[in-house]
Amino acid sequence: MRNAFAAVTIVAIVAGMVGYFLVLRGQTFAGHALSHVGFTGATGAVLIGLSPLWGLVTMTVAAGIGMGVMGERLVQRDVAIGLVLAFSLGLGLLFLHYFTTYATQATSLLFGNVLAVDAGTIWTLFALSVIAIVALAVISRPLLFVSLQPELADAKGVPPRMYSVMFLAIVALVTAECAQIVGVLLVFALMIGPAAAAQRVTRSVTTGVLLSAGTAAIAAWLGLVLAFYSDWPSSFCIVAIGSAEYLLCCAIAYNRTLAV
Amino acid sequence: MNAIAIRDLKLALGGCTILEGVSLDIGSRDFVGVFGPNGSGKTTLMRAILGLISPSIGSICVLGRPAKRGNSSIGYMPQGRETATSIRLRGWDFVASVVNGHRLGLPTLNRAARREVDRVLELVGARELADRPLSELSGGERQRLMLAQTLVGHPTILLLDEPLISLDPRHQGEVVGLVKSLQHEIGATILFSAHDLNPLLGAMDRVLYLGSGKAAIGTVDEVITSPVLSRLYGSDIEVVRLRDRIFVLSGNFDIERHAHRHDHGSKDGTTHRIGVRHV
């Protein structure tokens, strides 16, 4: 249980921060697709006898860079992303078909199994999170510029494409981490829900990012507590709390507009 | 010295020639209105001046040097996009994202940078927009913030791509007046593209009209004439003056209509047809 708390805290904070920029850039669907590609990577890794986490990381980062290189035209094209998403999930299923010994493997990959996280995994998650946060901090200023005013940034010599590639690589890394906690199907809950909630009630970047990370951490903690007392799956509890937070923030934002 | 000197320029996009054999000079501190049918190369020309598109043939000199990407003496206002309407960041943060935007690191600003944000907001009279979220601003207010972004870093040339798009006449007048006052206040050369020349009649010093790959530059009286515009449109164009307004009339209804629809994807095809009245 202590391992679980440590793991969700680490992952939720980094997911909230990265998610803020993902929502700001309107690339949430791309983030979702990345997690599905991760499923192929994880199952593929299991099939050839490697650790699923590293399969996840390798595949999502490769896919993230690929999406970034192909540019916004692809990233914002629903059909292309939807197809990639479906095909990766299908491919993952095929890999599992050939590797039937672990029946529970599929479920834990798809829906996460935070209680199974061991100390070694926590250190891996911690290291990956540090890399992701440092990388995000380093590129955050130009990333914000290219996200808000891509043409102007381009004219000023800040290449939007390059930052898009770097950012999607970071997203991919964090997606792989999230998949460890809530599974590839529910990555949205940690990465998008809290970030979207934070953006409804904040107006500046710094408070938005911090609130997003805080909201994600609270969702993860409350989710674990709820799972502990109710014996419901932890992923469900985290997703439920995350969704509730989003609705709450919408209500707060709505109230504010009424008050004005 | 001329602010912008273009010699025998050919610009092509994806194998399609946009401008060819264009030579023109834009004087320092001139307010130039840029007009022409959709697809005539207004945006392409601006992007070439910014160094984002390289000339196929010919040259573009900006303040005596060849056009180069990342030129800090040019302020650029790209055509407004719909995405900004969903962003809930406050105006101050939106403008601040441009200051030092090329530097790596956290988006925190030192005192000088914060002063720069306040300065440009002051210049466009947008202090009161600083604390309001972008998503709650009107089109005119958002244009004003984008204009503020353009002024970051003390540019001496402003390239404004369709700042009047989707604004009502009153707000159009406000934006034109604001840009005109900036021309004097910061001593800037201004290229201002638009579909309708009437809102700019009192403000602009010269007209740059693009069409059929060619360009004509001069005063309103020199350029907005039937022979010049007929050459640029490649069809018979009539220029009618009604009190202090000018109407450019074309008999070729269908071609124009489709051109407008095609380029901006406007839903009704009517919003951009103010300048060129079809009979």
Contact A144 B104 (CB under 8 A): no
Which residues of chain B does A156 touch, with a Cβ-Cβ cutoff of 8 Å?
70, 72, 76, 98, 101-102
Contact B50 A155 (CB under 8 A): yes
**For A144, which residue in chain B has the nearest alpha carbon?**
B97
Contact B101 A142 (CB under 8 A): yes
**Does the pLDDT of residue A74 top 90, yes or no?**
no
**For A157, which residue in chain B has the nearest alpha carbon?**
B70
Which residues of chain A does B149 touch, with a Cβ-Cβ cutoff of 8 Å?
149, 152
Paired tokens of B277:
């009245």
Q: Count chain A–chain B contacts defined by CB atoms under 8 A.
A: 91
For B248, how many CA atoms within 13 A lie in the half-sphere containing its CB? 28
Judged by average pLDDT, the poorest of A14-28, A238-252, B146-160, B251-265 is: B251-265
Paired tokens of A73:
């035209």
**Does the pLDDT of residue A80 top 80, yes or no?**
no
Confirm if B208 and B191 have CB atoms less than 8 A apart: yes
The predicted model gives A149-176 an average pLDDT of 91
- CA-to-CA separations, B143 to B137, B150, B167, in angstroms, rounded: 10, 10, 9
Report if residue A116 sits inside a domain: yes
Residue of A1, A16, A4 lying closest to A219 (CA atoms): A16
Q: Which residues of chain B have pLDDT under 70?
A: 80-84, 251-279
CB atoms within 10 A of CB B162: 21
For residue A154, the enclosing domain spans 2-188
Interchain contact B114–A (C-beta under 8 A): no
> CB neighbours of B140 closer than 8 A, spacing ≥ 6?
B167, B171, B174, B175
Report if residue A164 sits inside a domain: yes
- E strand map for A80-229: none
What pTM value is reported for the model? 0.87
Interchain contact B113–A (C-beta under 8 A): no
Interchain contact B73–A (C-beta under 8 A): no
The predicted model gives A216-240 an average pLDDT of 92
Smallest Cβ–Cβ distance between B98 and the set A139, A145, A204 belongs to A145
pLDDT value, residue A72: 63
CA atoms of A218 and A245, how far apart (whole Å): 9
Interchain contact B105–A (C-beta under 8 A): yes
**Does the pLDDT of residue A7 top 60, yes or no?**
yes
CATH of the domain at A122: 1.10.3470.10
Among A204, A209, A257, which would you mutate to test the B interface (most chain B Cβ atoms within 10 Å of its Cβ)?
A204
Domains: count for chain A: 1
Report if residue A107 sits inside a domain: yes
pLDDT value, residue A26: 85
B6: Cα separation from own chain's centroid: 17
Shortest Cα–Cα distance, B53 to chain A (Å): 10
| Sequence letter at residue A8 | V
Which residues of chain A does B79 touch, with a Cβ-Cβ cutoff of 8 Å?
151
For A135, how many CA atoms within 13 A lie in the half-sphere containing its CB? 20
Among B97, B114, B151, which would you mutate to test the A interface (most chain A Cβ atoms within 10 Å of its Cβ)?
B97
Binned at pLDDT 50, 70 and 90, residue A102 comes out as low
Judged by average pLDDT, the poorest of A36-50, A207-221, A235-249, B22-36 is: A36-50
> CB neighbours of B112 closer than 8 A, spacing ≥ 6?
none
Judged by average pLDDT, the poorest of A30-34, A95-99, A121-125, B186-190 is: A95-99
| Percentage of residues in chain A having pLDDT higher than 70 | 95
DSSP chain B: --SEEEEEEEEEETTEEEEEEEEEEE-TT-EEEEE-STTSSHHHHHHHHTTSS--SEEEEEETTEE--TT-TTEEEEPPP-GGGGG---BHHHHHHTTTTTTS-S-S---HHHHHHHHHHHHHTT-GGGTTSBGGGS-HHHHHHHHHHHHTTT--SEEEE--TTTT--HHHHHHHHHHHHHHHHHTT-EEEEE-S-SGGGTTT-SEEEEEETTEEEEE-HHHHSSHHHHHHHHTS-EEEEEETTEEEEEES-HHHHHHHHHHHH--SSS-TT-SSEEE-
Shortest Cα–Cα distance, B269 to chain A (Å): 25
For A75, how many CA atoms within 13 A lie in the half-sphere containing its CB? 23
Shortest Cα–Cα distance, B218 to chain A (Å): 27
pLDDT value, residue B251: 66
- Return mean pLDDT, chain A: 87
Shortest Cα–Cα distance, A144 to chain B (Å): 6
Domains and CATH numbers, chain B: 4-217 (3.40.50.300)
Which residues of chain B does A140 touch, with a Cβ-Cβ cutoff of 8 Å?
105-107
CA atoms of A128 and A144, how far apart (whole Å): 22
CA atoms of B153 and B98, how far apart (whole Å): 9
Which residues of chain A does B73 touch, with a Cβ-Cβ cutoff of 8 Å?
none
Q: pLDDT: is A209 or A34 the higher one?
A: A209
Paired tokens of B24:
């023109």
Contact A148 B97 (CB under 8 A): yes
